[in-house]
Chains A and B, each alone.
Chain A
Amino acid sequence: MKVLLQHRVDILLFILLFAGMSFALYMALIGAPTEKTMGDIQRIFYFHVPAAITGLTAFALNFVASLMYVFRKNRWWDSLALSSAEIGILFFCMLLITGPIWAKPVWFVWWTWSPRLTSSLVLCLLYAVYLLIRKSFEDPDRKAMVAAVFGIVAFADAPLVWFSIRWWRDIHPSPMLETGNLDPSMRPALYTCMAAFLVLFLYLLRRRFYLEIMRNKIERMIRRTDTIR
């Protein structure tokens, strides 16, 4: 019964994801008006911003799950932390690739060491280190604890990413929704893409999380078979 319900949720999420991403693509590439100064290049914005927000959400989830693991010592939280870190890296890779592709024709450089760009790169690298740390421990409990502590410390960079364009002078555009710089005709496309990325995040998190739960079960089975042998 539980498996059947999970299967139905999977199918529902996949249908929602397919419809959402198709509509988001339509809105980003056709539905939204062409920006006057940058032209069609500005359409990268509709996937670039949701990738940033979803990535930060994933790292925030890693932070909460890591904290929970430190206090509860339950592997469920460790699995959630690992899954969200991997997905956060995926979204930040999207961000760090689409950003320079947008920057080249607009700023005439692929990359500049501005506070927003640098702190984003550092955050992505910190979570890559988080994954590497996990590979360097054999004992699962020790691995989970060290990774949880590192995850909590690594998240300290996330507020820097968020506030960098508010605190320091930066070549990166200011937060358009907060400052009201985004034209109202562009908002439906951005909101659609954000909703689609949220569904994508839930879909990926669900799949990655169940993979980790399955891996933990198999580890326990291996220990059982070792005792039989």
Chain B
Amino acid sequence: MNYLFAAYMAIWILLALFLFSIHSREKKLREEVERLKSILDKSE
């Protein structure tokens, strides 16, 4: 039963880590977009 629990936990942990990694990369890109927008606005 412990092995079964470990296997299913491993799957959910991996999935959560991947989703977290996508989310943090999205957040970084959004911040970058805002920074670039402000540069473009200043130049116009």
Question: Which positions in A face B, CB cutoff 8 Å?
Answer: 25, 29, 40-41, 43-44, 47-48, 51, 90, 93-94, 97-98, 101-102, 104-105, 200, 204, 207-208, 211, 214-215, 218, 221-222, 224-225, 228-229
Contact = CB atoms under 8 A, between A and B. Distances in A.
B3 A102 contact: yes
A208 B22 contact: yes
A41 B8 CA distance: 11
| Interface-central residue, A40, A47, A98, A204, by most chain B CB under 10 Å | A98
B2 to A, nearest CB: 9
A218 B33 contact: yes
Interface of B: 1, 3-4, 6-8, 10-11, 14-15, 18-19, 22, 25-26, 29, 32-33, 36, 39-40, 43
A204 B7 contact: no
A47 B28 CA distance: 32
A8 B18 CA distance: 23
A208 B29 CA distance: 13
Contacts of A98: 7, 10-11
B14 A90 contact: yes
A94 B11 contact: yes
B5 to A, nearest CB: 10
Contacts of A102: 3, 7
Contacts of B29: 211, 214-215, 218
Given A204-B18, A215-B29, A225-B39, A41 B3 contact: yes
A47 B22 contact: no
Contact of B4 (A40, A90, A228): A40
Contacts of A29: 8
Contacts of B11: 47, 51, 94, 97-98
